[in-house]
A = this chain, B = another copy of it.
Amino acid sequence: MQTDNFIPCFSIDCVVFGFHNNELRVLLLKLKNLDKWMLPGGFVSYDKDVDEEAIKVLRERTGLDDIFLRQFHLFGKKDRISKSHAQEMVDKKVISEDLKKWFDQRFLSLGYYALVEYSKVKKPEPDPVSEAIEWCPFSELPDLVIDHVDIVQKAHQRLKKELNFQPIGLNLLPDEFTMSELQALYETILNKQLDRRNFRRKMLAFDILKNTGKKRTGNAHKSPILYSFDQEKYQQLLQADHLF
Protein backbone atom coordinates (compact mmCIF):
# COMPACT_ATOMS: atom_id res chain seq x y z
CA MET A 1 0.00 0.00 0.00
CA GLN A 2 1.37 3.36 -1.09
CA THR A 3 0.34 5.47 1.85
CA ASP A 4 2.26 8.50 0.54
CA ASN A 5 -0.49 9.18 -1.94
CA PHE A 6 -3.15 9.36 0.69
CA ILE A 7 -4.50 12.32 2.57
CA PRO A 8 -3.44 11.63 6.15
CA CYS A 9 -5.81 11.14 9.08
CA PHE A 10 -8.75 10.56 6.80
CA SER A 11 -10.58 7.39 5.84
CA ILE A 12 -13.78 6.21 4.25
CA ASP A 13 -16.08 3.49 5.55
CA CYS A 14 -18.91 2.02 3.52
CA VAL A 15 -21.98 0.36 4.94
CA VAL A 16 -23.20 -1.82 2.08
CA PHE A 17 -26.76 -3.00 2.58
CA GLY A 18 -28.14 -6.00 0.75
CA PHE A 19 -31.40 -7.86 1.03
CA HIS A 20 -31.67 -11.64 1.00
CA ASN A 21 -34.06 -14.19 2.44
CA ASN A 22 -36.20 -11.37 3.74
CA GLU A 23 -33.30 -10.18 5.79
CA LEU A 24 -31.29 -6.99 5.71
CA ARG A 25 -27.60 -7.74 5.46
CA VAL A 26 -24.35 -5.81 5.62
CA LEU A 27 -21.18 -6.60 3.72
CA LEU A 28 -18.32 -7.15 6.16
CA LEU A 29 -14.68 -8.19 6.04
CA LYS A 30 -13.20 -10.64 8.52
CA LEU A 31 -9.77 -9.56 9.68
CA LYS A 32 -6.94 -12.06 9.38
CA ASN A 33 -5.93 -13.83 12.60
CA LEU A 34 -8.41 -11.85 14.62
CA ASP A 35 -11.95 -12.55 15.65
CA LYS A 36 -13.07 -9.15 14.46
CA TRP A 37 -14.81 -7.79 11.44
CA MET A 38 -14.67 -4.44 9.70
CA LEU A 39 -16.50 -2.35 7.15
CA PRO A 40 -15.05 -2.14 3.66
CA GLY A 41 -13.27 1.16 3.41
CA GLY A 42 -10.24 2.97 2.16
CA PHE A 43 -8.30 6.15 1.95
CA VAL A 44 -8.39 9.19 -0.29
CA SER A 45 -5.68 9.94 -2.82
CA TYR A 46 -4.57 13.53 -3.15
CA ASP A 47 -5.74 13.62 -6.73
CA LYS A 48 -9.18 12.06 -6.30
CA ASP A 49 -12.55 13.36 -5.19
CA VAL A 50 -13.67 11.85 -1.91
CA ASP A 51 -16.85 10.55 -3.52
CA GLU A 52 -14.79 8.98 -6.30
CA GLU A 53 -12.81 7.01 -3.78
CA ALA A 54 -15.97 5.76 -2.14
CA ILE A 55 -17.25 4.58 -5.50
CA LYS A 56 -13.92 2.86 -6.03
CA VAL A 57 -14.18 1.01 -2.73
CA LEU A 58 -17.62 -0.21 -3.74
CA ARG A 59 -16.49 -1.29 -7.16
CA GLU A 60 -13.56 -3.22 -5.75
CA ARG A 61 -15.66 -4.96 -3.14
CA THR A 62 -18.83 -5.68 -5.04
CA GLY A 63 -17.90 -5.46 -8.70
CA LEU A 64 -20.82 -3.09 -9.09
CA ASP A 65 -20.47 0.24 -10.74
CA ASP A 66 -23.79 1.99 -10.90
CA ILE A 67 -24.66 2.00 -7.27
CA PHE A 68 -26.82 3.93 -4.84
CA LEU A 69 -24.24 5.53 -2.57
CA ARG A 70 -24.72 8.33 -0.06
CA GLN A 71 -22.39 10.14 2.24
CA PHE A 72 -24.07 10.32 5.64
CA HIS A 73 -21.80 11.31 8.52
CA LEU A 74 -18.27 12.15 9.50
CA PHE A 75 -17.09 10.24 12.53
CA GLY A 76 -14.59 12.53 14.17
CA LYS A 77 -14.30 11.78 17.86
CA LYS A 78 -10.72 12.08 19.01
CA ASP A 79 -10.66 8.73 20.80
CA ARG A 80 -12.69 6.65 18.38
CA ILE A 81 -9.69 4.42 17.70
CA SER A 82 -8.12 2.83 20.76
CA LYS A 83 -4.41 3.38 21.33
CA SER A 84 -3.70 -0.33 21.02
CA HIS A 85 -5.56 -0.90 17.76
CA ALA A 86 -2.65 -0.50 15.36
CA GLN A 87 -0.29 -2.42 17.64
CA GLU A 88 -2.74 -5.32 17.79
CA MET A 89 -3.00 -5.35 14.01
CA VAL A 90 0.76 -5.58 13.77
CA ASP A 91 1.03 -8.22 16.50
CA LYS A 92 -1.51 -10.44 14.80
CA LYS A 93 0.19 -9.91 11.45
CA VAL A 94 -2.87 -8.29 9.95
CA ILE A 95 -0.66 -5.50 8.69
CA SER A 96 3.09 -5.31 8.27
CA GLU A 97 5.35 -3.44 10.69
CA ASP A 98 6.01 -0.61 8.28
CA LEU A 99 2.33 0.21 8.03
CA LYS A 100 2.02 0.66 11.78
CA LYS A 101 2.86 4.33 11.58
CA TRP A 102 0.07 4.94 9.07
CA PHE A 103 -2.51 3.08 11.08
CA ASP A 104 -1.41 4.69 14.31
CA GLN A 105 -2.71 8.04 13.15
CA ARG A 106 -5.81 9.64 14.42
CA PHE A 107 -8.45 9.07 11.72
CA LEU A 108 -11.53 10.99 10.78
CA SER A 109 -13.78 8.60 8.94
CA LEU A 110 -16.46 9.56 6.48
CA GLY A 111 -19.38 7.13 6.46
CA TYR A 112 -21.18 6.19 3.26
CA TYR A 113 -24.07 3.84 2.88
CA ALA A 114 -24.87 1.88 -0.23
CA LEU A 115 -27.81 -0.19 -1.38
CA VAL A 116 -26.98 -3.08 -3.65
CA GLU A 117 -28.69 -6.01 -5.18
CA TYR A 118 -27.48 -9.01 -3.28
CA SER A 119 -27.57 -11.41 -6.20
CA LYS A 120 -25.57 -9.16 -8.50
CA VAL A 121 -22.61 -9.00 -6.18
CA LYS A 122 -19.91 -11.45 -7.05
CA LYS A 123 -18.28 -12.27 -3.77
CA PRO A 124 -14.72 -11.15 -4.36
CA GLU A 125 -11.41 -12.36 -3.13
CA PRO A 126 -10.55 -11.16 0.33
CA ASP A 127 -7.68 -8.70 0.26
CA PRO A 128 -4.36 -8.64 2.10
CA VAL A 129 -5.82 -7.70 5.48
CA SER A 130 -8.97 -9.79 5.39
CA GLU A 131 -9.48 -13.51 5.20
CA ALA A 132 -13.18 -13.49 4.36
CA ILE A 133 -15.94 -11.27 3.07
CA GLU A 134 -19.50 -12.01 4.12
CA TRP A 135 -23.05 -10.74 4.11
CA CYS A 136 -23.84 -10.55 7.82
CA PRO A 137 -27.43 -10.19 9.00
CA PHE A 138 -28.00 -6.66 10.25
CA SER A 139 -29.89 -8.01 13.23
CA GLU A 140 -26.95 -10.00 14.55
CA LEU A 141 -23.74 -8.23 13.73
CA PRO A 142 -20.46 -9.85 14.77
CA ASP A 143 -17.74 -8.08 16.76
CA LEU A 144 -16.62 -5.05 14.81
CA VAL A 145 -13.42 -3.02 15.10
CA ILE A 146 -13.22 0.54 16.34
CA ASP A 147 -16.61 2.28 16.17
CA HIS A 148 -17.90 0.38 13.17
CA VAL A 149 -21.00 -0.74 15.05
CA ASP A 150 -21.92 2.90 15.54
CA ILE A 151 -21.32 3.56 11.87
CA VAL A 152 -23.61 0.72 10.83
CA GLN A 153 -26.31 1.81 13.26
CA LYS A 154 -26.18 5.40 12.15
CA ALA A 155 -26.32 4.33 8.51
CA HIS A 156 -29.45 2.34 9.26
CA GLN A 157 -31.05 5.27 11.05
CA ARG A 158 -30.36 7.45 8.07
CA LEU A 159 -31.70 4.88 5.66
CA LYS A 160 -34.94 4.70 7.64
CA LYS A 161 -35.26 8.45 7.49
CA GLU A 162 -34.53 8.58 3.78
CA LEU A 163 -37.36 6.12 3.14
CA ASN A 164 -39.71 9.01 3.83
CA PHE A 165 -38.25 11.04 1.03
CA GLN A 166 -37.13 8.61 -1.58
CA PRO A 167 -38.39 5.54 -3.32
CA ILE A 168 -36.25 2.58 -2.52
CA GLY A 169 -35.88 -0.88 -3.88
CA LEU A 170 -34.41 -0.28 -7.30
CA ASN A 171 -31.01 -0.92 -5.86
CA LEU A 172 -31.87 -3.64 -3.40
CA LEU A 173 -34.17 -5.92 -5.36
CA PRO A 174 -33.68 -8.01 -8.49
CA ASP A 175 -35.01 -6.62 -11.75
CA GLU A 176 -38.33 -8.39 -11.31
CA PHE A 177 -40.01 -8.84 -7.99
CA THR A 178 -43.39 -9.31 -6.40
CA MET A 179 -45.26 -6.77 -4.33
CA SER A 180 -44.74 -8.94 -1.27
CA GLU A 181 -41.01 -8.90 -1.77
CA LEU A 182 -41.01 -5.13 -2.01
CA GLN A 183 -43.13 -4.96 1.11
CA ALA A 184 -40.81 -7.32 2.96
CA LEU A 185 -37.95 -4.97 2.12
CA TYR A 186 -39.77 -1.99 3.58
CA GLU A 187 -40.83 -3.94 6.63
CA THR A 188 -37.28 -5.08 7.23
CA ILE A 189 -35.76 -1.64 6.97
CA LEU A 190 -38.47 0.05 8.99
CA ASN A 191 -38.63 -2.88 11.37
CA LYS A 192 -42.41 -2.88 11.52
CA GLN A 193 -45.35 -4.61 9.90
CA LEU A 194 -47.30 -2.89 7.15
CA ASP A 195 -50.78 -3.56 5.87
CA ARG A 196 -50.56 -5.60 2.69
CA ARG A 197 -53.41 -3.85 0.86
CA ASN A 198 -52.54 -0.31 1.84
CA PHE A 199 -48.92 -0.87 0.96
CA ARG A 200 -49.85 -2.06 -2.51
CA ARG A 201 -52.14 0.88 -3.10
CA LYS A 202 -49.55 3.38 -1.97
CA MET A 203 -46.79 1.90 -4.08
CA LEU A 204 -48.93 1.76 -7.20
CA ALA A 205 -49.97 5.35 -6.60
CA PHE A 206 -46.36 6.45 -6.94
CA ASP A 207 -46.52 5.15 -10.46
CA ILE A 208 -42.98 3.86 -10.45
CA LEU A 209 -43.86 0.18 -10.90
CA LYS A 210 -44.37 -1.56 -14.19
CA ASN A 211 -46.45 -4.72 -14.37
CA THR A 212 -44.27 -7.03 -16.45
CA GLY A 213 -47.25 -9.17 -17.33
CA LYS A 214 -45.39 -12.16 -15.94
CA LYS A 215 -46.15 -14.08 -12.80
CA ARG A 216 -44.00 -16.06 -10.45
CA THR A 217 -45.19 -19.67 -10.43
CA GLY A 218 -44.24 -22.66 -8.35
CA ASN A 219 -45.35 -21.35 -4.98
CA ALA A 220 -48.25 -23.62 -4.09
CA HIS A 221 -50.43 -20.52 -3.93
CA LYS A 222 -51.82 -17.94 -6.24
CA SER A 223 -49.01 -16.78 -8.51
CA PRO A 224 -48.09 -13.19 -7.76
CA ILE A 225 -47.53 -10.55 -10.42
CA LEU A 226 -43.93 -9.70 -11.20
CA TYR A 227 -43.18 -5.99 -11.23
CA SER A 228 -40.19 -4.01 -12.33
CA PHE A 229 -39.31 -0.40 -11.72
CA ASP A 230 -40.03 2.26 -14.28
CA GLN A 231 -36.50 3.60 -14.21
CA GLU A 232 -37.35 6.98 -15.64
CA LYS A 233 -40.17 7.77 -13.24
CA TYR A 234 -38.17 6.29 -10.38
CA GLN A 235 -35.28 8.64 -11.05
CA GLN A 236 -37.63 11.60 -11.36
CA LEU A 237 -39.05 10.82 -7.96
CA LEU A 238 -35.54 10.44 -6.52
CA GLN A 239 -34.69 13.93 -7.70
CA ALA A 240 -37.88 15.47 -6.41
CA ASP A 241 -37.30 14.34 -2.84
CA HIS A 242 -40.69 15.42 -1.59
CA LEU A 243 -42.39 13.54 1.19
CA PHE A 244 -43.61 9.99 0.73
Contact = CB atoms under 8 A, between A and B. Distances in A.
Nearest to A51: B76
Given A74-B74, A74-B110, A78-B47, A243 B10 contact: no
Interface in A77-126: 77-78, 106, 108, 110
A44 to B, nearest CB: 7
A7 B49 CA distance: 19
Contacts of A212: none
Interface string A23-56: 0000000000000000000001011111110000
Q: A interface, how many residues as a size bin?
A: 20 to 34
Contacts of A9: 7-10
Given A71-B74, A76-B44, A164-B243, A7 B51 contact: no
A157 B3 CA distance: 36
A52 B79 CA distance: 13
Contacts of A47: 78
A151 to B, nearest CB: 14
Given A44-B76, A71-B73, A50 B164 contact: no
Contact of A10 (B10, B48, B73): B10
A135 interface: no
A214 interface: no
A14 to B, nearest CB: 14
Contacts of A7: 8-9, 106, 108
Nearest to A110: B74
A77 B46 CA distance: 10
A161 B78 CA distance: 30
A51 B71 CA distance: 17
A77 B71 CA distance: 13
Nearest to A52: B78
Give 8 closest A-B pairs by Cβ, nearest first. Answer: A50-B76, A7-B9, A49-B77, A49-B78, A74-B110, A74-B74, A8-B8, A46-B106
Interface of A: 7-10, 44, 46-52, 71, 73-74, 76-78, 106, 108, 110, 161, 164-165, 241, 243
17 contacts: A7-B8, A7-B108, A10-B108, A44-B76, A46-B78, A46-B106, A49-B78, A50-B74, A50-B76, A50-B77, A50-B108, A51-B76, A51-B77, A74-B74, A74-B110, A76-B110, A161-B165
